Amino acid sequence: MRLGNSLNIKGDLAAAEDVTVNFAFDGTIDIAGHRLAIMEGASVQAAVKASSVEVRGHFDGHISADRVELGPNAVVTASVVAPRIVLHDGAQLTGPVNTDRAQAAVVVAHHRQKGA
């Protein structure tokens, strides 16, 4: 899903596909199992749940993902729960990062899937 950069959206976003944000967004983003890309020029204030999150723009809030990547121009003020984090030279991250809790959540999820 790709929307234009002149948008300013407030609310809850849920999708069953990858999402690219090139606009201002304030709310929640739930795309479990999919990729979220926050492009340069985008400003997102949200609680995010996704398989993978790539930030190249501005982000404030909370990220819960299997993998988080912050590009060289990313400015992030957030709590991050992810077993894998990539910070490119120049990326700015302010906030707590928890990789242990994320790993425990992944193990629990795998066990629940086996039991289903």
The per-residue pLDDT string of the chain (116 residues; one tens digit each, 9 = 90 and over) reads 555 567 788 999 999 999 999 999 999 999 999 999 999 999 999 999 999 999 999 999 999 999 999 999 999 999 999 999 999 999 999 999 998 765 666 666 666 766 65
* pLDDT at res. 103: 60
* pLDDT at res. 8: 86
Spans of all domains in the chain:
8-115
Q: Specify the pairing of strand 58-64 against strand 75-81.
A: parallel
What is the full DSSP assignment across 23-82?
SEEEEEEEEEEEEEEE-TT-EEEEEEEEEEEEESSEEEEEEE-SEEEE-TT-EEEEEEE-
* pLDDT at res. 109: 66
* pLDDT at res. 100: 73
* pLDDT at res. 99: 85
Residue of 64, 96, 109, 95 lying closest to 82 (CA atoms):
64
